[in-house]
Amino acid sequence: MENLADKKKAILESTLELIKENGFHGTPMSLVAKQAGVAAGTIYHYFDSKDTLICQLFQYLRNQLLAVVRNSDVPGKPYQERFYDLWKSLCSFYTGNPNVLVFFEQFINSPYNKKRLEAGPDPFHQLIFSFLEEGVESGYLRPVNPEILGVLLHGSIVSTAKTYKFGNVQLGEADLEQIRQILWDGMAAKKNC
Amino acid sequence: MENLADKKKAILESTLELIKENGFHGTPMSLVAKQAGVAAGTIYHYFDSKDTLICQLFQYLRNQLLAVVRNSDVPGKPYQERFYDLWKSLCSFYTGNPNVLVFFEQFINSPYNKKRLEAGPDPFHQLIFSFLEEGVESGYLRPVNPEILGVLLHGSIVSTAKTYKFGNVQLGEADLEQIRQILWDGMAAKKNC
DNA sequence: GCAAACCGAATGAATATTCAATTAACAAAC
DNA sequence: GTTTGTTAATTGAATATTCATTCGGTTTGC
């Protein structure tokens, strides 16, 4: 899965790049071909249609995201640190790959996503969910539906990454730390209040 | 600004509807015309091009959002209640108008948004910012850059609204209450911890 | 009567997709 | 080591479709 054929990978990366630049529409196959350094016909050797190209691009990037999350988790550490690590690694993945974030947002709010939702929960979602569930059961997090905690966690990361890259305001490391802290303080079980 | 010509309004609303259904692309002018009950040429009487139609639709909806926020704020109330009201009104606007949420997300992550960002901060953003600034200065909220608080506030609302409508999980009123509570607990100044 | 609103078929440019032909990859046979 | 055969990869011009936009003419409001 990692060492995709060079051409196929080039096509996927070019599509990502162009969608960031020109938007979801306004990215003709001819441009994808040119940017990837292949002929138009070659794309159709690897992908049935533009639609499947876009859907497979989503899968491809989603797997990268999953790998990032998996690698960031060190089971031995205390829960709060693992929480911080998770937040940080996700956030830095998005800020380091802003075109991925843009593509995700476009994809998820497009009709393409309908089919995906009908296909059931994806591994990324499940991973986050079970991590939060563990936190609740161990008493580190408030006794709240982990789905809700996931909403807050993910929302804060996406929002932060967007502001970081696109906003007029520049957020520094200290700011990111604060956001993480505020989120934790809200979600953590209150011991002495 | 409120009583737009009937036809113009119909065109805007149809565009919104179709973009939710068929996505940003895949929404031809011919369909917009049919759905709005006008001729294709009529659209060009009101809008220079498809691009300006989409940009004006964004402005149109952004003004509605602004009005919702303005109406929800009752200056006499205690700050925490105003905070809750703001959160609730924004969230229910999005859950009640899911196509607006989808459109916003599409628009903001598209190249159209570049021009908008270059045009400076918009009134909606400013309103939220000053509300949070007031909270910080009055000592109700943590002494943190209001921009950061805004990120968290907006992220939690968007994420919640998306889950509410599109997620596999159904969130009830009690769940929304909890999310609001968690957010407040994170953002509020710590009095006794 | 006049100006603005409106119509919708016609136009022309853009573009997703196809396909017949060419080239590379590579293994088996000699 | 060369030939040969076979399959997969690649090309890019041609096709058919789609779609934004135009414009000459018609209707409506005043």
Residues of A in contact with B142 (CB under 8 A): 182
Count of other CB atoms within 10 angstroms of residue B132: 24
Q: At residue A2, does pLDDT exceed 70?
A: no
Interface A:B, Cβ pairs < 8 A: 128
Protein-covered nucleotides of chain C (CB closer than 7 Å) are 5-10, 14-20
pLDDT of residue A38: 95
Q: Which of A126-130, A144-148, B133-137 has the weakest average pLDDT?
A: A144-148
Query: Facing residues of B182 across strands?
Result: none
Digit-coded pLDDT (tens) for B145-165: 898 899 889 999 998 998 887
DSSP A36-97: HTS-HHHHHHH-SSHHHHHHHHHHHHHHHHHHHHHHH--TTS-HHHHHHHHHHHHHHHHHH-
Residue B92: what pLDDT?
A: 93
Confidence class of residue B3 from pLDDT cuts 50, 70 and 90? low
Give the tens place of pLDDT for each residue, A146-188.
988 998 899 999 989 988 876 667 778 888 999 999 999 999 9
Binning pLDDT at 50, 70 and 90, where does residue B1 land? very low
pLDDT at residue A119 in the model: 80
Q: Which residue is nearest to nucleotide D23 (CA to C1')?
A: B41
What is the CA B101 to C1' C13 distance in angstroms? 33
| CA atoms within a 13 Å half-sphere pointing along the CA-CB vector of A21 | 11
Contacts of B154 in chain A (CB under 8 A): 159
Q: Does residue A191 have a pLDDT over 70?
A: no
Tokens 């607006």 sit on residue: B100
Kindly determine whether the C-beta of residue B5 is less than 7 Å away from any atom of nucleic acid strand C. yes
Residue B94 has pLDDT above 90, yes or no: yes
Do A153 and A186 touch, CB atoms closer than 8 A? no
- Is residue A7 a contact partner of residue A15, using CB atoms and an 8 Å limit? no
Q: How far is the CA of B148 from the C1' of C20 (A)?
A: 60
Q: How far apart are CA A88 and CA A29, in angstroms?
A: 36
- For residue B38, what is the DSSP state? S
User: What is the structure's pLDDT at B193?
Assistant: 54
Average pLDDT in chain A: 90
Distance CA B55, CA B15 (A): 11
Q: How far apart are CA A113 and CA A15, in angstroms?
A: 18
Q: Which is higher by pLDDT, A71 or B119? A: A71
Residue A133 is predicted with a pLDDT of 97
B154·A159 Cβ contact <8 A: yes
CB A29 within 7 Å, strand C: yes
Q: What is the pLDDT of residues A62-102, one digit of tens each?
A: 999 999 999 999 989 999 999 999 999 999 999 999 999 99
CA of B111 to C1' of C20 (A): 39
Residue B2 banded pLDDT, cuts 50, 70, 90: very low
Helix (H/G/I), strand (E/B), else coil: A176: helix
Closest Cβ–Cβ partner in B155, B171, B184 for A156: B155
How far apart (Å, rounded) are the C-alpha atoms in residues A155 and A136? 19
Q: Which domains does chain B have, with CATH numbers?
A: 1-47 (1.10.10.60), 50-187 (1.10.357.10)
From A22, A102, A152, residue closest to B159, measured CB to CB: A152
Give me the pLDDT at residue A6, please. 86
